[in-house]
Amino acid sequence: MDTEQTVDDPARLREMADSDLLLLSVRDPEVFGVLYDRHIVAVLSFFQRRTASPQDSADLAAETFARAFQMRHKYVPTESAGIAWVLGIARNELRQAARSGRVRDRARVRLGMSRIELDDESFERIEELVDFAPLRLELEEALKAMSPKIAGALLLRIGLELPYEEVARRLGCSRGTARARVSRGLTALADTLEGAR
Amino acid sequence: MIPFVDQLRRELMTGIRAASVESSKQKLSKGGDQIMARTLQTMRPSRKRRTGILAAAAVAVVVILAVAVWPTDDPTETPLTRAGADAQPSVETWGALSPGAGADEVEYYEGLQEMTSGASLTVVGVVESVEPGRFVGEGDSSQYLVATLRVDSVLAGSGAQEGDSVSLEFGPMQPNTVEDDGWDPIVNDEGLFFLRLKGDGTPEFGTEDVESEMALGVYRVVSSQGLFLNDAGSAAPVLYAEPEGFPLEISGDPFESVVEHVSSFDD
């Protein structure tokens, strides 16, 4: 791969390996968009699986890609595949967030990117990226240990896979409250299940 | 497609394009500045290890020499115009705050673990503000620059907790240099700071009274070795014009892994 060249053919770009895209993006920053398109869903899933919070996953993904762009000239293809390198940055961001209790935003701010508040559709679609079904038995045990309001919201949303409107109607609360209960419940479950391992 | 994915792509690509334009401008203006940076680097003295036995006297020598370096015949010259031009704006600014500018330093460490043990406090923090500080010296001839540091993690030592703010003094330097408004680039910078509580073992410039220095409750970096900036995810020893020793070996390593390594010393 000659990184001194630029590649204008979108089809050719889409066929290129991650490592070549990263190397090429040092000279042609626009190429970084192809890498983003290829891996944004994987990165969001990575964070959603570990945080159970769509908004945190979105914030972490934004910081990860901003940081990856700023660090791309340090990428060494012999040390890791492109996606592994990006996920390595993602892991660092997650570790930092867990340690400090907040998602960093320095790389994002440095690129002049605004923070994106998730709309309802994005929130639910990110939430749906992770299939919690294999964990259902463990979840049932953990659900017994939490408050009935939160457990009820989780059962309706995760167990019965009802939309938030229906969860809110059955619980007699607002859609926002239902979502908050589910979010708190998922966070508590993540802590419980993580502790069990 | 998740709507957020499209929104984030627009934000990211807009930022990338703006950064690319800025980078092109900097490359065009870099040539002349590089000559100045190289000239300044050749003027730097070599650094030698010092023990603590003559620490008090050495502090005075460091400070006097450092202050002597700051004055300039050119009233338009700022600390920023003296720093390396190959770096990001905030890296340039940090370089101008090196406690070793123009002089050997009192504290010198062979490695991260030794520096962590030697420092009063080791933290990951973010610079919240920078402003002129107290005057010292005969006739108030010198002044400190004070950075307020928000402590995000305490890795070793005592004296502050996560969420606290601590005052960090740089200098002293000429008052007109302190008043220079070119220090803003370091605000919001995150770094790994190895700090010495002033008066903790050695008297500082302008006083021999250790207790009164300690009562101020302000810190300084232990030496030019005592700051690794988080430069887009990489550890950068920005208080050096030319890193050497273990800071040079660490330079460019993932910032988080350096922080984790330092955290492990306190176990």
pLDDT at A189 over 80: no
pLDDT score, position B212: 65
Q: Percent of chain A, pLDDT > 90?
A: 23
Asked whether the beta carbons of residue A116 and residue B252 sit closer than 8 angstroms, the reply is no
**B12 touches A: beta carbon within 8 Å:** yes
Residues of A in contact with B5 (CB under 8 A): 40-41, 44
What is the tens place of the pLDDT at every residue in B105-157? 677 788 899 999 989 999 999 999 898 888 877 777 778 899 999 999 999 99
Q: What are phi and psi of A47, to 5 degrees?
A: -75, -40
Q: How far apart are CA A39 and CA A87, in angstroms?
A: 10
Q: How far apart are CA A158 and CA B231, in angstroms?
A: 41
Mutation pick from A36, A41, A103, A124 vs chain B, by most beta carbons of B within 10 Å, is: A36
Residues of B in contact with A113 (CB under 8 A): 11-12, 14-15
Largest CA distance in chain A: 62
State the average pLDDT for chain A: 82
**B158 touches A: beta carbon within 8 Å:** no
pLDDT score, position A156: 84
Using left for φ > 0, alpha for ψ between -120 and 50, and beta otherwise, residue B201 falls in left
**A80 touches B: beta carbon within 8 Å:** no
Q: How far apart are CA A171 and CA A60, in angstroms?
A: 31
**A89 touches B: beta carbon within 8 Å:** yes
pLDDT at A76 over 90: no
What residue in A sits closest to B257 (Cα-Cα)? A92
Q: Which residues of chain B have pLDDT under 70?
A: 22-89, 100-105, 181, 200-215, 241-243, 266-267
Q: How far is the alpha carbon of B195 from chain A, nearest alpha carbon, in Å?
A: 20
What is the tens place of the pLDDT at every residue in A154-168? 888 876 778 888 888
Task: List Cβ neighbours of B74 (8 Å cut-off, separation of 6 or more).
Answer: none
Asked whether the beta carbons of residue B233 and residue A89 sit closer than 8 angstroms, the reply is yes
> Is the separation of the CB atoms in B190 and A102 below 8 Å?
no
pLDDT score, position B48: 33
**A65 touches B: beta carbon within 8 Å:** yes
pLDDT score, position A194: 66
Q: How far apart are CA A163 and CA A9, in angstroms?
A: 42
**A116 touches B: beta carbon within 8 Å:** yes
**A87 touches B: beta carbon within 8 Å:** no
Predicted TM-score (pTM) of the model is 0.44
- Name the residue among B177, B179, B189, B147 with its Cα closest to residue A110: B189
- CB interface of A with B, residues 133-192, below 8 Å: none
What residue in A sits closest to B234 (Cα-Cα)? A71
Confidence of residue A132 (pLDDT cuts 50, 70, 90): low
pLDDT score, position B232: 81
Comparing A169 with A75, the larger pLDDT belongs to A169
Which ipTM was obtained for this model? 0.70
3-class DSSP state of B164: coil
Asked whether the beta carbons of residue B5 and residue A40 sit closer than 8 angstroms, the reply is yes
- Name the residue among B249, B234, B156 with its Cα closest to residue B190: B234
Mutation pick from A24, A26, A69 vs chain B, by most beta carbons of B within 10 Å, is: A69
Q: How far is the alpha carbon of A172 from chain B, nearest alpha carbon, in Å?
A: 29
pLDDT score, position B56: 31
Asked whether the beta carbons of residue B7 and residue A116 sit closer than 8 angstroms, the reply is yes
pLDDT score, position B7: 96
Confidence of residue A95 (pLDDT cuts 50, 70, 90): confident
Residues of A in contact with B260 (CB under 8 A): 95
**A47 touches B: beta carbon within 8 Å:** no
**A33 touches B: beta carbon within 8 Å:** yes
Residue type at B116 in one-letter notation: T
Asked whether the beta carbons of residue B18 and residue A111 sit closer than 8 angstroms, the reply is yes
Whether the bond between B203 and the residue before it is cis, its omega within 30 degrees of 0, is no
Q: Is the dihedral of CA A26, A8, A66, B94 positive or negative?
A: positive
